[in-house]
Each structure stands twice: as C-alpha cells, then as structure tokens.
Structure 1
C-alpha cells in the first residue's frame, strides 16, 4: 500500500540525526553508516542523497554515486515502522532518475544474500543478480545486482 503525502527531496544537513536513527534501526552496528558518510556523499559532485519525508518526519533515504555510465546505489533504508508501503521503491525510482541526470546509463548495487526483502524490491524494480560477492559483509556473502547493464566486466 502506498503512503499519501510522501515528499522525496534532496538531503539537507539537518536530516543527519534522522538518517543515523534509520541506520541504527536497519543495519548492524558494524555496517551502519555514520555522519561522515552522509556528509561526504552529499558534497560529492557525482553523489546523490535523497530523503522520504511524511508529515515533516524523515522516514527513509537513498544514496548513490554516478561513476561514469554506472549509477552505484550505495544504500537505501526505510524506518522499520514505515516499511512495506512502497517508500523504498519510490526512493529507488527517484535515485535512479537523479543518477541518470548525472550520466548513469545502468545501475549496480550490493545486497546481503539473506536480505530477502531488499532483494525482492530490487528484482521487482528490474535488477538481476550478476554475481556472488564472497564475504562482502564482514563474513556474510552479498550479491552484486545490476539493472540495464548489457555486461559487467569487473
């Protein structure tokens, strides 16, 4: 079910506390991003950080980097109490649009092999598994997923 009144907007520095809380809720401490990551991504000329806001409250974010013709989806997270409402899908769609504007023609991302909810989202949005990344998440395997890439020689 979709949420009425979602605003997708560019990240602002005052959003950092909300993003750190979402990180804490969604990721283990060793994988959660800190303030410096969001500050760096938001100041890079090829970086994009957007947030989903409902009623003035930040409930999710998406971050990515345009790397030549590739758009690298760095992270997407939605606060657990807001998951399952289409916010992640909307964030991914808007992130892809912004990365296309920076020259990306196809998209890549990494996801833990056991993150079934995220894998379903990415598959539904046209991503496919390109390869297994052994030990990518501190001993846990990940998938490299791609969308729109004819080949990936990495």
Structure 2
C-alpha cells in the first residue's frame, strides 16, 4: 500500500528530496517482517527488537511502523509510538542507503503524525556512541535531555533526546 506522505513525499508515496531514485515511504505490514528483522539485525548490534516485538508494534493501535523501500527492497524503518508524546522507538537505515536523506524523511513522518494528533513532544533514545545519528537529531531540532546508563543492557548508555513542536 502506498500512502500520501505530505511534506515527506508525493501522493504516490515517492519520497522527495532524496538522493537516488525510486524510494517509496509507506506504512509497513506483516509482509515486511523479513525486511524489518534484517534492518534490526544489521543496524543494531545491541538492543535490537525481536520478530515478536516487531509484530507487536504492527498490531498495536498506538504504534505505526513505516519503511522506505527502493525497487521492492526495504532499506529503512521507523517505529513510532503515539500516546501523550510521540516516541520514536526505532529508526534505522541500511548502510548502503545512508547519506540520501532517508532518516530525515522518516523524522519528518514522525512530526507529521505528531502534528496530526496534536502532540507537541517527540522523544527518542540513541546510543551515546552513535555520533552521526546524534548530529542529525540535533540538526533536526532534538535536544539532549539525559544520559541513561546501561540502557541497552550491554554496558552501553543511551542519550534521551526530545523535540518540542509548536502545535496550534
């Protein structure tokens, strides 16, 4: 299923502003499980979500999972939980697809959901040693709030980051 992506893309789901061609941002479904698990395994050496957890996110009415695919191959994911705030539970882009603006487009999708639901706060956790991601999040308006020791259970801490939107 292709979805309108507002400022993140065209009405056919094609993501605008990305380097390269043929990228489509769409909501994930159960047929994407292999791609989601592949992304988790490649992108997260620690703290990755299992297949059971990924399926639970797909079934949860307070969560949305989106993928960006190129030529039918899932290249990235974002898992968004929305209640009182919008939490980015996972965001990942395969190494070969990085540097093309995909993560920025996925963050834009999270903001779009927050705005639609009139939620002003977006949050995420990122490994303290993931400097490229931290720089991207800061560039997109996220601010570091605290360091959470041993967040990933492997001795690695996480940086808790937050962004406030001006929802009117």
Q: TM-score, normalization: structure 1?
A: 0.89
- For 2:37 and 2:59, the matched residues in 1 are separated by 17
Which residue matches 2:69? 53
Shift in Å, 1:100: 3.3
Matched-pair contact (CA < 8 Å) for 2:76–2:91: yes
Runs of at least 5 residues in structure 1 that lack an aligned partner in the other structure: none
Runs of at least 5 residues in structure 2 that lack an aligned partner in the other structure: 1-17
Shift in Å, 1:102: 3.5
CA RMSD across the alignment = 1.7
Matched-pair contact (CA < 8 Å) for 2:86–2:110: no
Which deviations, in whole Å up to 9, do the C-alpha atoms of 1:101-137 show, x marking residues without a partner?
Answer: 3342110111111001111111111101011112212
Q: TM-score, normalization: structure 2?
A: 0.82
Matched-pair contact (CA < 8 Å) for 1:127–1:145: yes
- For 2:139 and 2:21, the matched residues in 1 are separated by 21
Which residue matches 1:25? 42
Bigger share in strand: 1
Which residue matches 1:3? 20
Which of residues 17, 26, 35 is equivalent to 2:51?
A: 35
Flag as ranges the 4+ runs of structure 1 deviating above 4 A.
none
Structure with more relative contact order (C-alpha pairs < 8 Å, separation 6 or more): 1
